[in-house]
């Protein structure tokens, strides 16, 4: 079975074929590695490959099929895992940071374990910026990851390696994490579908700080080429864990069924700029056109003002301070393992991350909680929308994919859009406010600019209403299929 036959096969179809005997897990996994060998030098998606272990898992998967054993929903399907806090025991995990070049965790992340228990086969770890601190994927260890739509431009971050791998057919699905848009940003830049479920829906049993993920709200989620694949993957990843005090009860949702539910009678609020963000005209034009698909599918769409009363630069500053607080907690944990990142390893760290950590080292508890007061106003503005509407739609990002810089580590977003200053790390992303709030949100491909660059549309649901996000995403996919947009290679 050649890789060209499988490069753009969905995970849902691949799993069904493996179960039926029409395809073996070994063929699926070998096709993935063939594609990686062909394409990874160009896009730089994978930073660690597990070929020997993956092929052994594939052989075991085929033996299970032959023996008639019970099979998981992702049995034999090759997947990619992000190289951040998404640990797989015994596998190098760099977090995109030179001090961790040889770091090997002893524990497996909850959601990674669930994916493997469902039969998925991890073929490797994917590139990310150092500690996931920005909306582009580039670091001093491995350099930038490129979107397959233009190899001179970035795949987005911080789950850029996962998104690029899916977009370029290296794997059908991949795992990402999202603390400010890190699933949705690269989904937009790479022309794929990325889903951030409601906060707590996917358990994360983090240690030594079990409460690490709440400020801003950190989520793990699927990246896929089809909405159905994302729903299948979420089915596997979701659910509470008694070791995660912030996970929410399982309410037996029907994620896969929601994809086919339709949006007839749905009321959709459309904000072309989240009230306060400057948005590139090329992005605005694509999303304006794409929103019409919901009306064609039977929904009503109205433009709205959310009533956000905080400047976008102040919002970005708050997010940076909050994510820095998370990093400080993580860094303290690594000190217990004998690694002082701001001491012995300071020169190995990305300069803007060191600056952020230094600027926030002495932030007071009062300052920290004052930011939460502003965060609450953003939450109220978003939540108020759902008193009248079922869904909130915005552009995912304010710009199309940005160009990679020369060398390693320096790629960031724009500093200015339409004459307005924005923070280059995160200020051009209309995603991070939803990490203040924890609402479910996805980025779906909205279309291409005139010069062929992908643009994403952000779909935001009411608290814990992940199914409506999936239903609207499925309707958009049926109305404006994006699967033929991927560059032929």
> Taking the CB of residue 167, how many other CB atoms lie within 10 A of it?
29
Catalytic entry in 130, 158, 198, 247: 158
Q: Which residues pair with 219 in a beta bridge?
A: 178
CB 248 within 8 A of CB 198: yes
Q: Is residue 158 annotated as a catalytic residue, yes or no?
A: yes
Closest listed residue to residue 44, CA positions, set 155, 150, 118, 140 = 155
Closest listed residue to residue 321, CA positions, set 362, 356, 352, 364 = 356
Catalytic entry in 10, 162, 182, 247: 182
CB 130 within 8 A of CB 83: no
Cα–Cα–Cα angle for 336, 217, 144, rounded to 5 degrees = 75
Q: Is residue 196 annotated as a catalytic residue, yes or no?
A: no
d(CA 125, CA 80): 6
Catalytic entry in 10, 82, 88, 146: 82
d(CA 436, CA 96): 24
Sequence-ordered list of residues with C-beta below 8 angstroms from that of 338, at least 6 positions apart, any chain: none
414-446 CB burial, b ≥16 within 10 A, e <16:
beebeeeebbbbbbbbbbbbbbbbbbbbbbbbb
CA distances from 82 to 119, 160, 162, 170, 422 (A): 18, 9, 6, 14, 27
Active site residues: 82, 158, 182
């Amino acid at each position: 079975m050649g890789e060209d036959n499988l490069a753009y096969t969905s995970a849902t179809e691949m799993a069904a074929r493996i179960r039926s005997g029409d395809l073996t897990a070994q063929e699926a996994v070998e096709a993935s590695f063939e594609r990686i060998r062909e394409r990874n030098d160009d896009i730089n998606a994978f930073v660690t490959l597990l070929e020997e272990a993956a092929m052994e898992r594939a052989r075991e998967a085929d033996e299970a099929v032959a023996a008639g054993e019970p099979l998981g929903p992702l049995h034999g399907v090759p997947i990619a895992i992000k190289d951040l806090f998404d640990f797989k025991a015994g596998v190098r995990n760099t977090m995109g940071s030179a001090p961790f070049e040889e770091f090997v965790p002893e524990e497996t992340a909850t959601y990674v374990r669930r994916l493997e228990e469902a039969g998925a086969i991890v073929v490797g770890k994917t590139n990310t910026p150092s500690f996931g601190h920005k909306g582009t994927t580039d670091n001093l260890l491995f350099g930038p990851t490129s979107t397959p739509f233009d190899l001179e431009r970035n795949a987005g971050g911080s789950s850029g390696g996962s998104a690029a791998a899916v977009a370029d057919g290296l794997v059908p699905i991949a795992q990402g994490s999202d603390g400010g848009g890190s699933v949705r940003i690269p989904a937009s830049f790479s022309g794929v579908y990325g889903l951030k479920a409601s906060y707590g829906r996917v358990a994360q049993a983090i240690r030594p700080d079990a409460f690490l993920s709440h400020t801003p709200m950190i989520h793990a989620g699927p990246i896929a080429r089809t909405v159905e694949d994302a729903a299948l993957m979420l089915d596997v990843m979701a659910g509470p864990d008694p070791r995660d005090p912030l996970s929410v009860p399982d309410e037996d949702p029907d994620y896969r069924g929601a994809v086919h539910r339709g949006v007839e009678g749905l009321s959709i609020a459309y904000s072309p700029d989240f009230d306060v963000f400057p948005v590139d005209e090329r992005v605005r034009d694509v999303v304006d056109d794409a929103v019409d698909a919901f009306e064609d599918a039977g929904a009503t769409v109205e433009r709205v003002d959310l009533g956000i009363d905080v400047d976008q630069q102040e919002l970005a500053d708050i997010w940076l301070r909050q994510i820095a607080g998370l990093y400080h907690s993580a860094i303290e944990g690594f000190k217990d393992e004998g690694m002082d990142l701001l001491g012995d390893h300071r020169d190995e760290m990305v300069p803007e991350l060191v600056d952020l950590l230094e600027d926030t080292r002495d932030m007071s508890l009062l300052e920290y909680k004052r930011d939460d007061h502003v965060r609450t106003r953003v939450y109220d503005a978003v939540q108020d929308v759902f008193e009248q509407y079922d869904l909130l739609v915005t552009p995912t990002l304010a710009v199309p994919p940005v160009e990679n810089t020369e060398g390693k580590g320096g790629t960031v977003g724009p500093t200015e859009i339409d004459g307005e200053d924005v923070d280059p790390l995160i200020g051009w992303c209309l995603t991070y406010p939803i990490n203040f709030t924890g609402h479910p949100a996805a980025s779906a491909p909205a279309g291409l600019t005139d010069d062929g660059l992908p643009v994403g549309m952000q779909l935001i649901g009411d608290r814990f209403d992940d199914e409506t996000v999936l239903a609207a995403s499925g309707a958009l996919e049926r109305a404006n299929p994006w699967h033929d947009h991927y560059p032929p290679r």
